[in-house]
Amino acid sequence: MLGRCASRSSLTALSIWLLALLMLVSTAATRAQDANARLPLSAAASTTTSLPTKDRIEQQLAELQSSTRTDEALKSNLSDLYRHALSNLNEIEKFGERLTELTETLKLAPKQTQQLQKSLERQLALDKSKAPPSVPGGLTIDQISQQLNQVMADATVQEIRVSELDKLIDSSQSRPGLVRERLIAIKQALDALDQDTQPTTLAGESSEELAQAKHWVSETQRQALWSEARMLEQELLTQSASEALIKARHELASLNLRELKAKQHVLEEALSERRSQQARAEQIASDRAQRDAEDKDPMVREFIQGNAALTKALGESASRLAGLSDDLSHTEAERKRIEDEYRSAQQRLEAAGLTRSLGQVLFDQRNQMPDLRQYRDTIRERENRIADATLRQIRYREEERHLRDIDRYIGDLALDAPAVDSKAIRAELLEVLQQRRSLLRQIIKSEDDYIRKLGDLNYSAEQVMQVTQSYDDFLAERLLWVRSSTSINLETLKSLPSALGWLVSLDGWREIGRALVERLRHSPLFWLGLALGVLLIWKNPAIRRAIRARAEPLRRVRTDGIQFTLESIGLTLIAATPIAFLSWLIGQQLLLSTEATAYTRAFGAALAQVAFGLYYLRAFRLLCMTGGVAERHFRWKENVLKRLRRDFGVFTLYIVPIAFIVIALHQYNDPVHDDGLGRLLLIATMLGFAVFFARLLNPNHGAISRFLTDHPKGWLHRLRRVWFPAIVGAPLALAVLAIVGYVYTAGILFQSLVYQVWTILALITLHQTIVRWLIVTRRRLAFQAALERQTARRAQQAADSEHHEAGVVTEIFQVEEPEPNLAALDEQTRRLINASVFIGGAFAIWATWSEVLPAFGFLERFALWYHTGIVDGIEQTIPVTIADMGLILLILVVATIAARNLPALLEILLLQSDSVSAGARYTIKTLSSYLITAAAFLLAFSTLGFDWGQVQWLVAALGVGIGFGLQEIVANFISGLIILFERPVRVGDIVTIGDTTGVVTNIRIRATTIRNWDKQELLVPNKEFITGRLLNWTLTDQLNRITIPVGIEYGSDANRALELLAQIASKHERVLKDPAPLISFESFGDNALTLVLRAYMDSLDGRIGVITELHQAIYDTFKAEGIGIAFPQRDVHLYTKAPLDVRLQSPDETPRNSGAGIA
């Protein structure tokens, strides 16, 4: 029992020990696995098998290229794998070198940073103890200039150094996040490589070689990723030390740059002072020389006076140079300030995002940005100054070149003035000319410095403009979506009394009065402007009468002209000027007054800005006045004009005062007033626009309701339930945005909306003016055609009267070249004008929204796909974004409109030229349509990233498929192109194809239209004109022959008949003398002697009429000569098998059927 218990207990103990051992082993394994999982990526490199060397892979690649394998696919695959492996080895080598650099940087950076900081401290202490930089008094101007050039060169190098360090600091702050993202991507790539453990192989001899190549690629890629991970981990470890070193270098470089700038400033001031001193000394010497020259020779005195002029020019040049250095320093400081703000804004946005507080700071910075228009104007003004200085310098250099050899110059003077040979005069001239040469060299050097300084200033200004534009686009893209204020609440309403008190402040209005009085005292232009405004008000009734008088010539076609419309529009614009001009004038004077305050400047800016809106509204209302342009020239309906006058009048009285107050509050820049009363009045302005749009554009009873009723199938009528709510809802939506706090967003969008309204009013006027020109042109063409038809009818009537006197009645049929359908052209051109104005308006509206468009720049960051292209000679990956798709859509819309309607405008313009035939007109307009379509598709495909090398296989495949499936259509299309280029058939040609003869009226892509003499249109496939037989009567020459057979009775005088035919042909004016008519005796017919007259005409016009006239003349002449025209003889047989029934019948009796008749 005890043994069994002991054995059982021993077994139990053994079991417990085994269980404990198993648990220990499993725990240790788990910990080891966890530790291995936490190892950095670089630790796994120790498990990597040996990699192939670059030499081995290159050897394999060389053997592969020199081999004669027939399997080109396998050869290409192996070649790509070897190159991939080589690329991976190069990456491993590059990452290793970078790892070594980072390791060395981590060791040395702290010590280098400490040394730089000590050097910086020593230099700062030295700067405090040493005296400010100065220029020794004994230096000449040339020596100071040399030192200045050296300091400027050193400062430029130091500026580049500081700029590079700024970029390194910026990148170092964002670099850790990018490194961590890359490490995660490397971990994922390694996991993907570990999962890909079954490489595919080929059976046969090449399977081992291909498997080895794939193994090399896999292992080198894995090792490249491990090497990159080790490098990045080391970069993270080195980050703080490296950043501290860069900042220390930046501080030291900035200190050196400040010292150089200070020294440069001192040298520039010294140089300017020395030049001024030299100019004063030269001026004193010149004055003394002028006083001493009174008793000298006239030539010497003339040169002394010239030296005095040069001395004065030298002083002026020194004065011009004096202020340029300060201007350059100010411009560079402005550029540095904007760059720092730009960099700071980018860093803040990357760190914390765009918050409301940061948004307000960025709003203020954007308001403080310089005005780019002033910089552009200044640059243009400096360019003019550079041009003037260059011309002066050329003149000075030319004169200095002549004075290099003074003795020779004096000798040349002696040829014209013998007195110069005198030694005394010669000595005086030598002294004066030496002084002049010295002055010329000084002023040339001064002008060189002046031109260089102006160029530096322009370059610096262009840099300011560039960084300002970039910063402004950056802010515009982000600030539009920032809430700039709180929602309207009780505090907003509480601020109204103070804002209203500011608005009606007596002190403020006294300031306005003082400012205006000051301008009246000191500005004659203000008086002149007031007089002009009063004159325009006084002459306004006379201008209106002149506008109505310009409409009188429109009643008759002979006196009508587009110039009357243009003059009336000009007078209307002048009539709308007085009130708006006075508002702008007073506003400008308030801004320019020396007594100006913040109050007067706010009111002045408001008056100046509101003047433009008042002018646009007033001008359009005057266009709609009774007897005005809209009524008499544009032919608008009276009820529409009454509605427009009433709506525009009420809207002007409502919107102008409110807009004036809103602008004044905004310009005063008081946040409380602007956010309170200013915001409420801005909302009232938006609501006013919404009501105005609702009344004016209502599809049922608005100003355009009649137009919509007259065009029920137009897109405006069909989409009225879309565009009307959108137009009315736009200002309402902006009002809601302003209410909830997006005041800046609502203001910017509303400003663009207002500009868009002014643009649309201008486009309406432009469109109607173009339509008016089209109507005038059409009326003139129709009137000219009517005159030509009237002249032709009169000539025909005169010819008919002559024939009537001779007892001849004629009827002339004309075969004419088809005239252009003016009504159809008018309709097509109207569509083109509408489309052109629409496209022009789209670009104009795009310009009005240009300030808002950068906010949609995020669309360019959404790439749909990528393609490879050449940019600046370098192959790069180019994204195709949503913005590109919008551009493609715009291209296709514009091309569709142009291809459908532009040929009509070309045709109506070509109608004015008599040298262009109908066929040439048709060819030009058809080919222009094809070219527009082809160019649009090429541009669209290019934007999408497709070039010919990428799509040529697709084009080839489509060509084969289309060639088989649509071969007839393709054949007709190609034949149509051949017809247009080779022109075997043209529009207006008379052709015979098959049994149809007619006039070619249209050549389309697939078929050509022929209208026969019965006015029936026959569609003939283009292929038949190229492959079949075609008779073209008017291809190269319209010369044609008329053949008239004449049969005379047997027994007639045939010779006389031939003579008469010759006389008749020779007398007719349309029958050509060369080739001469041909008369022949053709045959002895059954009933007549057959004579034939063959005559030629120079064209097919009037061919049937000429044939009729010749027939009539032959009949009349032969009848007068007693020559009978033969007629066929017929035998009449009586049917006599039945008796004839002969009856007598009176006229009143009804005839009855008889039993027999005549057969």
DSSP 855: G
**Whole-number pLDDT of residue 242:** 84
Amino acid at 417: A
What does the pLDDT look like over 1043-1082, one tens digit per residue?
999 988 888 888 888 888 888 888 888 888 888 888 898 8
Least confident of 24-33, 121-130, 660-669, 678-687: 24-33
pLDDT of 619 reads 93
Per-residue pLDDT at 32: 36
Asked if residue 661 has pLDDT above 90, the reply is: yes
The tens digit of pLDDT for each residue in 577-608 reads 999 999 999 999 999 888 888 899 999 999 99
DSSP 969-1003: HHHHHHHHHHHHHH-SS-TT-EEEETTEEEEEEEE
What's the pLDDT at 767? 86
Phi, psi of 315 (to 5 degrees): -65, -40
In this structure, the number of other CB atoms found within 10 A of the CB of residue 994 comes to: 12
Q: pLDDT band for position 14 (50/70/90)?
A: very low
* pLDDT tens column, 390-415: 998 898 888 888 888 887 877 777 77
Cβ atoms of 475 and 569 closer than 8 Å: no
Output 714 or 755, whichever has higher pLDDT.
Answer: 755
Mean pLDDT of 311-340: 82
Please say whether the dihedral angle defined by the alpha carbons of residues 525, 528, 529 and 530, taken in this order, is positive or negative.
Answer: positive
Helix axes 720-740, 679-697, angle to 10 degrees: 170
Q: Is the pLDDT of residue 470 over 90?
A: no
- Is the model more confident about 326 or about 187? 187
Burial class for 983, CB neighbours closer than 10 Å (0-12, 13-18, 19+) = middle
Six-digit token pair at 63? 């053997």
Share of the chain above pLDDT 70, in %: 77
- On whether the 949-1034 domain is CATH 2.30.30.60, my answer is yes
Q: What is the pLDDT of residue 11?
A: 35
pLDDT at residue number 827: 60
Q: For 532-582, what is each residue's pLDDT tens digit?
A: 999 999 999 999 999 988 888 887 777 888 889 999 999 999 999 999 999
Q: Is the pLDDT of residue 328 over 60?
A: yes
Residue 862 pLDDT greater than 70, yes or no: no
The answer to whether the beta carbons of residues 658 and 684 sit under 8 Å apart is: yes
pLDDT of 688 strictly over 70: yes
Spell out the domain ranges in the chain: 56-197+209-274, 296-479, 538-550+557-669+679-793, 848-946, 949-1034, 1040-1121
The per-residue pLDDT for range 754-810, each reduced to its tens digit, is: 988 888 888 889 888 888 888 888 777 777 777 777 787 777 667 656 554 544 444
DSSP-based three-state secondary structure for 170: helix
Q: Which residue has the higher pLDDT, 905 or 285?
A: 285
What pLDDT does residue 403 have? 85
The reported pLDDT for the residue numbered 437 is 87
**More confident site: 674 or 367:** 674
What pLDDT is attached to residue 118?
83
Give the pLDDT confidence of 1002-1049 residue by residue, as tens digits: 777 678 888 887 778 888 887 777 777 888 777 767 777 889 999 888
pLDDT on residue 155: 82
Token pair, residue 617, equals 């509204």
Q: Is the pLDDT of residue 1148 over 60?
A: no
**Do residues 1034 and 1022 lie in contact, with contact meaning Cβ atoms separated by under 8 Å?**
no
Label residue 25 by pLDDT band (50, 70, 90). very low
Q: Residues with Cβ < 8 Å from 299, sequence gap 6 or more?
A: 413, 417, 419, 420, 425, 429
* pTM, 2 dp: 0.59
- Which pLDDT belongs to residue 955? 59
The 3-state secondary structure of 1108-1127 reads HHHHHHHHHHHHHHCCCECC
| pLDDT greater at residue 730 or residue 179 | 730
> Higher-confidence residue: 730 or 166?
730
Would you say 1019 and 1004 are in contact if contact means Cβ atoms under 8 Å apart?
Answer: no
pLDDT for residue 294: 64
Banded model confidence at residue 828, pLDDT cuts 50, 70, 90: low
pLDDT at 915: 56
- Please answer whether residues 966 and 1006 qualify as being in contact, where contact means their C-beta atoms are separated by less than 8 angstroms: no
Q: Is residue 483 within 8 Å of residue 359, measured between CB atoms?
A: yes
Name the average pLDDT for the chain. 77
Closest-CA residue to 639 (of 626, 653, 652, 622): 626
Query: So what's the pLDDT on residue 301?
Result: 76
Question: Please, which pLDDT band fits residue 876 given cuts at 50, 70 and 90?
Answer: low
Q: Label residue 1038 left, alpha or beta by phi (over 0 means left) and psi (-120 to 50 means alpha).
A: alpha
Instruction: Look at residue 6 in the predicted model and tell me its pLDDT.
Output: 40
CATH code of 1040-1121, in short, is 3.30.70.100
